[in-house]
Structure 1
């Protein structure tokens, strides 16, 4: 990056106050979305693809194993060292296929619960952030003029709205 480009980027950021930090909340237009957004539809699609791959590998991944094992046995029986090598390849294939099947099953199962877990995390973060803001209001004298009640402690009417 050239020096003049760096200076231009810094000036652009300063113009829009992009260097500010907000610790007590997020802009109102972002509250509905939040920073964490997980679509259960997208997660389900990934999980379904992993399950489909698992099923195909389970059915088709071992098709050649019996033939390969028979050939390995025949070659070994005839005194060829290639028989032992072919059996080794067959055993490695089985082991690697098992690892791949486990990974597909893990992905499929994980996607089933990820949406709910992330949604719970998002709700917890939102509750935590809103309680920090309320606590901050309770200790900050600038929230109410001298002699007036702090609105953080305002009594709620029957509809849950502030009575002030």
Structure 2
């Protein structure tokens, strides 16, 4: 099978799964509950874990730096090649810790933004859908996300 054909089949299968609101399979919503839901608690838990990792790593990732630098300089000053290698290892470790700290901060900040942005988007969508009007007698006018597509066909 050619790559293009296999890719086309995979895209078609993915599109079918995405278009089956409330369908079976996957970890999507239960049947009859077709609205997309992201729990703020889930976003908050992941962001909090990244924040805690950042705080812990910031303290513990550098605890041996001063002693290691002193040892590396001492060995290098005494003419040992190990001292230069040790200093290089310390510099590499420091770069890796900084990179991981940046990644944790990015994840935490992004999830904070996502949570706030999602809430604002949901409120805007709810307001726009209330403008459409009631779907059924006695309805408050809100249109579930699973029904939105009928307004665009």
Q: Which category of TM-score, normalised to the shorter sequence, fits these structures?
A: 0.5 to 0.7
- What aligned pairs does 1:57-96 form with structure 2 within 5 A after superposition? 57-96=57-96
Residue number in structure 2 paired with 1:111: 111
Q: Deviation of residue 26 (structure 1)? A: 7.7
**Bigger RCO (CA 8 Å, 6+ sep):** 1
Query: Under a length normalisation based on structure 2, what TM-score does the superposition of the two structures give?
Result: 0.60
Of 107, 110, 133 in structure 1, the residue corresponding to residue 150 of structure 2 is: 133
- What aligned pairs does 1:141-152 form with structure 2 within 5 A after superposition? none
User: Counterparts of 1:64 and 1:85 in 2: how far apart (Å)?
Assistant: 16
Q: Deviation of residue 123 (structure 1)? A: 6.5
User: Counterparts of 1:118 and 1:92 in 2: how far apart (Å)?
Assistant: 38
Query: Are the aligned partners of 1:51 and 1:108 in contact in 2 as well (CA < 8 Å)?
Result: yes
Change (3 A) 1:134 1:98: closer
User: Counterparts of 2:91 and 2:78 in 1: how far apart (Å)?
Assistant: 20
Q: Deviation of residue 110 (structure 1)? A: 1.1
Q: C-alpha deviations, 1:109-139, integer Å up to 9, x for none?
A: 1111223434527975x95986653464xxx
When Rg is computed on C-alpha atoms for both structures, the one with the higher figure is 1
Change (3 A) 1:96 1:133: same
Change (3 A) 1:118 1:73: same
User: Counterparts of 1:89 and 1:135 in 2: how far apart (Å)?
Assistant: 60
Q: Deviation of residue 90 (structure 1)? A: 0.2
Superposed CA RMSD in Å reads 3.5
Runs of 5+ unmatched residues, structure 2: 1-15, 24-30, 130-144
Residue number in structure 2 paired with 1:29: 32
User: Counterparts of 2:77 and 2:51 in 1: how far apart (Å)?
Assistant: 40
Runs of 5+ unmatched residues, structure 1: 1-18, 137-164
Q: C-alpha deviations, 1:13-52, integer Å up to 9, x for none?
A: xxxxxx9xx79x9899335xx1x21111111111111111
